[in-house]
A = this chain, B = another copy of it.
Amino acid sequence: VATLKQVAEAAGVSVKTVSRVINHEPEVAANTRQHILEVIEELNYRPNTRARALVSGKAGAVAVVNPAAGEAHLNLFFDSVLRGIAEVLSAHKLDLLLYLSRGDDSPYCELFLQKRVDGLILMNMPFDDPNLLGLTESNAPCVHTCYLAENDNTRYVVDADHAGGIVMSVNHLAALGHRDIAILPGPDNLIAVRLRMEGYRRALAQHGLPVRDELIRHLEFYSGDVRQIVVDLMQLEQQPTAFLCGVDLMAINVMNILRDLGYRVPDDISVLGFNDVVVSQYVSPALTTIRQDGHRKGVTAATMLIDLMSGSLDGAPQQVTLDVELIQRSSTGQRNKV
């Protein structure tokens, strides 16, 4: 592979002149420039990114850290978020370094210290991750996404409006006459789940409906015993007429269980999901659910990070909450006495 020096020699000029041509600096004679361009073409020269990085002191890359990649429930949007991030970075000529390690052997805060990246986007990062401290100490620019600590205004964060999604769901059901709305929001240790519960309580209050604790069932998204929960709920004296589920797949599962138990969806019971995964439109009845825009989340987070790196964000950390959307399909309907 040719180097700047070789190009300079072949063209009979100094390295600096070649450098000027590559970097589109104006003060070069037109014919000199032309000649140099030809030599570059001929030698198939390409600037060496590593050398540039060394001189500039910038890595020219951003890390996307996601220790939970591979855990299905956290990664339904991983693709689309990544694509959003990639588009923005690409437009800014930044490389995207994907960092999925869980191990403590090479913690992600090293990425910045070792000049491998200029900033980080942290996805699904546990609130109390031990490496987070080192990251803060290193002063690395970083933005969190798919994570939102309650009342944590000390970090830059982008996430979907989990609470708002549930509020929309409850409003939708209330408008259909439902009053006894069960919720299976997911495991209690997730912040997103706690935010949704906040939305649930708030929305019920707005409609003057009581919060009935027996209708709130925390369980793992995928490993929980959904059937037992559904059976329990339907044996209550005052049965629920609608189910809010933490993820679409759980909602699909609930619909099947209800059918097994002899209930019709949505005639007897309404069911709502969260996330709007692809399959939700193909099941029968098609699932009413809350859609998050993963692509937009990625774009927003990456844009924020770039602003942060460029120093144009000197104020206090920002927390951005992205709107979600109710996708109304066929799994919800007018309340009927069961």
Q: Which of A224-267 contact B (CB under 8 A)?
A: 249, 252-253, 256, 259-260
Whether A114 pairs with B46 at a CB distance below 8 angstroms is yes
Q: Nearest chain B CB to A278's CB is how many angstroms away? A: 5
Q: Which of A43-95 contact B (CB under 8 A)?
A: 44, 46-51, 53-54, 59, 61, 64, 69-70, 72, 75, 78-80, 82-83, 86-87, 90, 95
Q: Nearest chain B CB to A332's CB is how many angstroms away? A: 18
Is A147 in the interface zone, CB < 8 Å from B? no
Q: Which residues of B contact A106 (CB under 8 A)?
A: 90
User: How many residues of A sit at the interface, in one of the four size bands?
Assistant: 35 or more
Complex Cα distance A69/B101, Å? Answer: 21
Whether B86 pairs with A100 at a CB distance below 8 angstroms is yes
Q: Nearest chain B CB to A63's CB is how many angstroms away? A: 9
Q: A49-B115, A82-B69 are in contact. Are A249 and B99 (CB under 8 A)?
A: no
Is A283 in the interface zone, CB < 8 Å from B? yes
Q: Nearest chain B CB to A176's CB is how many angstroms away? A: 24
Is A321 in the interface zone, CB < 8 Å from B? no
Q: Which residues of B contact A218 (CB under 8 A)?
A: none
18 CB-based A-B contacts, threshold 8 Å? A46-B110, A49-B116, A50-B54, A50-B115, A50-B116, A69-B79, A70-B80, A70-B83, A86-B101, A87-B101, A90-B103, A96-B100, A97-B97, A249-B278, A249-B279, A252-B279, A256-B282, A277-B279
